[in-house]
């Protein structure tokens, strides 16, 4: 007698996700036995779209706790297995078929004394960064960014048309998203919620509980969301982090708070104190030498207290170990300083990132523009000149160079840079042609009124 195939419930929590939730639910609905969407207070058409896709929608009052919401969704599931997705995530049909086959044949994969209770996946984050001609590009917010080949992009686009805007991705390994429907497995953590701690607790019982890592990607389309949505989500995480830190500090929470206090409360002093906490939570900052560690922290605290915040920031950033932190969170700190026009502070952080990843498009862009804002035009030029060496077809770097050369009244160099921007399809082609004509007139000695903008 053939063993019955295990059933699967898709669970999701969502709020104001009308832009992407249909794409997510449509990607899995033919392969799961039920879809459960827990709505935490949407004011758009999220609930209606979810219902149109065949999901059962439950309302849940938001309590600033992701684990509570996800555990409620889990409690509604009736299947043997549960898979959790966010509304901006999807899985390809072929991978879902493989997954169902794997679950149906699970016993043959289990070793003696072992029970497979969960699966963790590759989280694949797509970005709009450009492909560098002739190179397997390694430049983005993460060091493992991969440029998509034409065939790969076309294949992905056939299944998920929304991916047309993307040029590459970076992978985060591994995230547990599929697990047995049992009370022994549940989410922990107000902000960075996870089921792994509950599985570790369960593992004291026999047989040994195993999480299997599979090379199946969960496609994450977060970079399609609007800046307003991202900032609103970031503010929510900030408020939740303020509560979570009361129960104990860790580098991730402290770094998020350092960003939030700049971006949402203009409180640079508190930001620096939390950045200090993020640094001194690191494993490598003399944790074994408490006296030396305390002395370093005291020096930085004194610098902040004496309003020598830039010096304190420099000392902290020097100690920051990028291998122990989410690079995107560090970049968020630089962007927070930039948005508050604290350009010198942004430069301190950006230089750290730039040295670690000198080909990152965003680091180059922000660093060059920040130098320009504080009238360090020569430094800005050096940054963008480097940019066109590592990204020789990126029109925006040519454009920025042209504007900077104008500021220095180096007309011929400005013309050459703007011609490079046109060659590589800058969207302001017509305006640039007029600009070039004007600059040639100036170079010839004719007087013209003009303004200059970089970035």
pLDDT for 380 beyond 50: yes
Secondary structure letter of residue 14 according to DSSP: E
pLDDT number for residue 431: 92
pLDDT band of 445, cuts 50, 70, 90: confident
Mean pLDDT value across residues 326-348 = 93
Tens-place pLDDT, residues 17-34: 999 999 999 999 999 999
- Coil, helix or strand for 179? strand
pLDDT for 228 beyond 80: no
**Which residue in this structure is represented by tokens 């919620």?**
193
Cβ–Cβ under 8 Å, residues 89 and 24: yes
Mean pLDDT value across residues 209-213 = 95
pLDDT number for residue 312: 84
Q: Omega before 366 cis (within 30°)?
A: no
pLDDT band of 290, cuts 50, 70, 90: low
Cβ–Cβ under 8 Å, residues 190 and 64: yes
Tens-place pLDDT, residues 114-125: 999 999 999 999
- Residue 454, Cβ neighbours under 10 Å: how many? 20
H helices of 306-428, in order, are: 309-319, 327-339, 343-356, 361-373, 377-390, 395-407, 411-423
pLDDT for 135 beyond 50: no
**Which residue in this structure is represented by tokens 């949505």?**
229
pLDDT for 140 beyond 50: no
Mean pLDDT value across residues 231-250 = 85
pLDDT for 451 beyond 70: no
Mean pLDDT value across residues 169-177 = 88
As a whole number, the mean pLDDT across the chain is: 88
Secondary structure letter of residue 369 according to DSSP: H
H helices of 20-65, in order, are: 21-28, 46-52
Residue 384 vs residue 146, higher pLDDT: 384
pLDDT number for residue 224: 87
pLDDT for 137 beyond 50: no
**Packing angle between helix 411-423 and helix 395-407, nearest 10 degrees?**
170
pLDDT number for residue 133: 41
The structural domains of the chain, ordered by start, are 8-224 (3.90.550.10), 226-347 (no CATH), 358-455 (1.25.40.10)
CB under 8 Å to 388, separation ≥6 — which residues?
394, 397, 398, 401, 420
Mean pLDDT value across residues 313-341 = 89
pLDDT number for residue 304: 63
């Amino acid at each position: 007698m053939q063993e019955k195939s295990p059933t699967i419930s898709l669970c999701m929590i969502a709020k104001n996700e009308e832009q992407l939730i249909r794409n997510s639910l449509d990607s899995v609905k033919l392969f799961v036995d039920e879809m459960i969407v827990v709505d935490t207070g949407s004011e758009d058409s999220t609930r209606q779209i979810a219902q149109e896709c065949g999901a059962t929608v439950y309302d849940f009052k938001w309590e600033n706790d992701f684990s509570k919401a996800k555990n409620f969704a889990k409690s509604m599931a009736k299947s043997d297995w549960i898979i959790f997705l966010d509304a901006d995530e999807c899985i390809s049909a072929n991978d879902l078929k493989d997954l169902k086959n794997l679950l149906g044949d699970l016993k043959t994969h289990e070793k003696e004394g072992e029970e497979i209770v969960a699966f963790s996946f590759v989280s694949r984050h797509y970005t709009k960064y450009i492909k560098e001609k002739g190179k397997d590009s390694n430049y983005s917010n993460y060091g493992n960014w991969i440029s998509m080949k034409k065939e790969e992009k076309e294949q992905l686009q056939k299944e998920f048309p929304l991916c047309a805007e993307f040029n590459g991705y970076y992978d985060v390994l591994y995230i547990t998203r599929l697990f047995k429907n049992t009370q022994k497995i549940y989410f922990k953590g107000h902000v960075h919620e996870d089921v792994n701690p509950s599985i570790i607790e369960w593992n004291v019982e026999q047989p040994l509980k195993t999480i299997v890592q599979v090379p199946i990607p969960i496609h994450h389309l977060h970079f399609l969301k609007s800046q307003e949505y991202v900032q609103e989500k970031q503010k929510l995480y900030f408020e939740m982090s303020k509560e979570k830190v009361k129960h104990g500090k860790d580098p991730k929470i402290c770094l998020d708070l350092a960003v939030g206090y700049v971006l949402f409360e203009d409180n640079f002093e508190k930001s620096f104190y939390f950045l200090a906490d993020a640094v001194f939570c690191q494993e490598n900052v003399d944790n074994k030498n408490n006296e030396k560690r305390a002395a370093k922290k005291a020096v930085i605290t004194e610098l902040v207290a004496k309003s020598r915040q830039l010096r304190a920031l420099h000392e902290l950033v020097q100690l920051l170990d990028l291998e122990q932190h989410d690079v995107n969170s560090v970049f968020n700190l630089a962007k927070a300083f930039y948005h508050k026009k604290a350009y010198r502070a942004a430069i301190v952080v950006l230089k750290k990132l730039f040295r670690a990843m000198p080909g990152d498009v965003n680091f180059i862009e922000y660093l060059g523009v920040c130098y320009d804002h504080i009238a360090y035009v020569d430094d800005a030029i050096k940054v963008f000149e480097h940019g066109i060496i590592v990204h020789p077809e990126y029109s925006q770097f040519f454009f920025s160079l042209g504007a900077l050369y104008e500021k220095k009244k180096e007309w011929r160099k400005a013309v050459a840079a703007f011609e490079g921007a046109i060659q590589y399809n800058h969207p302001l082609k017509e305006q640039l042609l007029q600009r070039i004509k004007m600059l040639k007139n100036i170079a010839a000695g004719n007087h013209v009124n003009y303004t200059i903008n970089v970035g």
